[in-house]
Amino acid sequence: MSEPILEVEGLVKHYPLTRGVVFRKQVGAVRAVDGVDFHLGRGETLGIVGESGCGKSTVAKTLVNLERPTAGSIRYKGEDITRLSGKALKSVRRNIQMVFQDPYTSLNPRMTVGDIIGEPYDIHPEVAPKGDRRRKVQDLLDVVGLNPEYINRYPHQFSGGQRQRIGIARGLALRPEIIVADEPVSALDVSVQAQVINLMDRLQSEFDLAYIFIAHDLSIVRHISDRVAVMYLGRIVETGRDAEIYDHPTHPYTQALLSAVPVPDPEAREHRERIILSGDVPSPTNIPSGCRFRTRCWKAQERCALEVPALAVPAWFEAAGGPAAHDSACHFAATVPIRRSAPGQVVPPEERPGGTV
């Protein structure tokens, strides 16, 4: 991998819970993000997956400074942007832009497409002189596959897929190095999703972009991502190259997620084991001790309630070697096959016949 352009360490975002009208007293906190570490290389795509409420969107907002983190560092090219303000922060924000989830609410209905895409130039006038802005906006419309003559139209005159293309064009206006895409296709029809994903693929190579790509759909994440991070209840529980995560998942939560992905081949579907999780996701205001997933995990033991598992390569996996070794936050991480008799699966000693787990 190339040298990291973005490094996140110990990222925490808590929202205080208060009681009282006049004298407000803090009585707890919503621990939306609770210690997240990852890095992003130049021109790379990192996919972040997980169920609703796990903290994916909060991570995205902290990266573009829409939310100030409670603790931790976000280093862009070695500089911690959480400590910046004023002109220094403004300069960095130009290089980290965001594409929002909902194309219907992320565009101002009172502004024309030209004003929406050109608004970043009002904040950063050095990027485009006033006399050149119309041409630049029309060029961006053309780049994302829209007619440049649509520059004077309003958002309500476009479909959902076209609106998301406008959002992407706005994100590209300042020629950023990083795009944070927060579920950019979840509100679109399946056929339109493919068009937008292909567009983002093309733009990445054309503009040398690095993506943080957040999504629910695991098949989309696999298609576009180089590496994948799986989040659960505010923390990353497994991370690695896309093939490592999808072909050799070691964390029980990742295995459960992948077992739920629809398979079009009836024969393959017949030989796949579906993992049904018990219970609900715990509240982020009252997180379980030790491993956060233990209340829903079929492998949970006493150790899981006492020790927080580190996000690291399991010892048995590291000893076995091979290209599939990757980080997993589980005391009993194992590549339990999602398909029976799956070829090439690495099985740790304790999972072999006659083992102890």
Mind listing the pLDDT tens digit for each residue in 279-301?
Answer: 888 999 999 999 999 999 988 99
Check whether 177 has a pLDDT greater than 80: yes
Q: What are phi and psi of 325, to 5 degrees?
A: -65, 130
pLDDT, residue 339, reads 41
Residues 6 or more apart whose Cβ sits within 8 Å of residue 265: none
Structure tokens at 117: 């895409």
Please compute the mean of the pLDDT values over residues 51-74 and round it to a whole number. 93
Q: How far apart are CA 104 and CA 340, in angstroms?
A: 43
- Buried (b) or exposed (e) across 243-255, using 16+ Cβ within 10 A? ebbbebbbbbbbb
pLDDT, residue 338, reads 44
Confidence of residue 237 (pLDDT cuts 50, 70, 90): very high
Query: By the 8 A CB rule, do 161 and 189 touch?
Result: yes
Beta bridge partners of 98: 180
Which of the two residues, 25 and 177, has the higher pLDDT score? 177
Mind listing the pLDDT tens digit for each residue in 205-221?
Answer: 999 999 999 998 888 89
H helices present in 260-297, as ranges: 266-270
Of 160, 168, 167, 162, the residue nearest 150 (C-alpha): 162
pLDDT, residue 197, reads 92
CB atoms within 10 A of CB 350: 12
Confidence of residue 32 (pLDDT cuts 50, 70, 90): very high
Q: Is the pTM of this model over 0.75?
A: yes
CA 230, distance to chain mean position in Å, is 8
For the chain, give every domain's residue range. Answer: 4-225, 230-351
Residue-averaged pLDDT of the chain: 87
Q: How far apart are CA 211 and CA 168, in angstroms?
A: 12
Q: How far apart are CA 347 and CA 257, in angstroms?
A: 20
User: Please, is 86 exposed, middle or buried when counting C-beta atoms within 10 Å of its C-beta (0-12, 13-18, 19+)?
Assistant: exposed
Confidence of residue 12 (pLDDT cuts 50, 70, 90): very high
4-225 and 230-351 share one fold:
yes
pLDDT, residue 262, reads 78
Architecture label for domain 4-225: 3-Layer(aba) Sandwich (3.40)
Please compute the mean of the pLDDT values over residues 318-344 and round it to a whole number. 68
pLDDT, residue 103, reads 87
pLDDT, residue 100, reads 92
CA dist 253 to 35, 36, 111, 292, Å?
Answer: 18, 17, 44, 11
Confidence of residue 316 (pLDDT cuts 50, 70, 90): confident
Q: How far apart are CA 355 and CA 357, in angstroms?
A: 6
Mind listing the pLDDT tens digit for each residue in 140-155?
Answer: 999 999 999 999 999 9
For 131-151, the DSSP string reads GGHHHHHHHHHHHTT--GGGG
Which CATH superfamily hosts domain 230-351? P-loop containing nucleotide triphosphate hydrolases (3.40.50.300)
Beta bridge partners of 327: 239
Q: How far apart are CA 71 and CA 262, in angstroms?
A: 38
- Among 135-139, 332-336, 343-347, where is mean pLDDT lowest? 343-347
Of 254, 255, 196, the residue nearest 223 (C-alpha): 196
pLDDT, residue 353, reads 35
Mind listing the pLDDT tens digit for each residue in 240-285?
Answer: 999 999 988 999 999 999 988 877 777 766 667 788 888 888 999 9
Kindly give the interhelix angle for 113-123 and 133-143, rounded to the nearest 10 degrees. 120
